[in-house]
Amino acid sequence: MKTLRAVFGIVFIVVVAIAVVKLVPPYYSNYELQDAITDEARMNTYTPKSVEEMRDTIWKKCKELDVPVTREQVNVQREGQSVAIWLDYTVHVDLPGYPVDLNFHPSSKNKSY
């Protein structure tokens, strides 16, 4: 009985470790991308940087982080001194016996007062 319990315990630990190794990188990349989007919106509220330049900056960050988006999925809107940046993407993760699609929606809107 103790042997069976030990085997199940080891299997459980291995399954949790595999899930962590596969799920943490997409969430960490999203965290990094959200930080970059927030910085870009904040820093460009008062600068004359164009919408296309901001889009290129975010798209390059997406490529750097291996985020599966196209340049057209990066939305940038400037209205006066207000800058909004957002995008939606999905990452497919194949967990053993359970494939998962993770949906992410990083965004930031910065207004000048």
Adjacent-strand bridge partners of 86? 75, 107
Domain that residue 60 falls in? 25-110
Global pTM value:
0.86
Domain count, the chain: 1
In a domain, 16, yes or no: no
Domain-located, residue 42: yes
In whole angstroms, give the CA distance from residue 47 to residue 40: 11
Residue 13 lies in a domain: no
| N-to-C CA span, the chain | 68
pLDDT at site 113: 61
Residue 95 domain flag:
yes
- CB of 22 closer than 8 Å to CB of 38: no
Distance from C-alpha of 43 to C-alpha of 76, rounded to nearest angstrom: 14
Q: Is 67 left (phi over 0), alpha (psi -120 to 50) or beta?
A: beta
Closest CA to 23 of 89, 96, 102: 102
Q: Is residue 65 part of a domain?
A: yes
| Mean residue pLDDT across the chain | 92
- For 42-96, write each residue's pLDDT tens digit: 998 888 889 999 999 999 999 999 999 999 999 999 988 889 999 999 999 998 8
| 77 located within any domain | yes
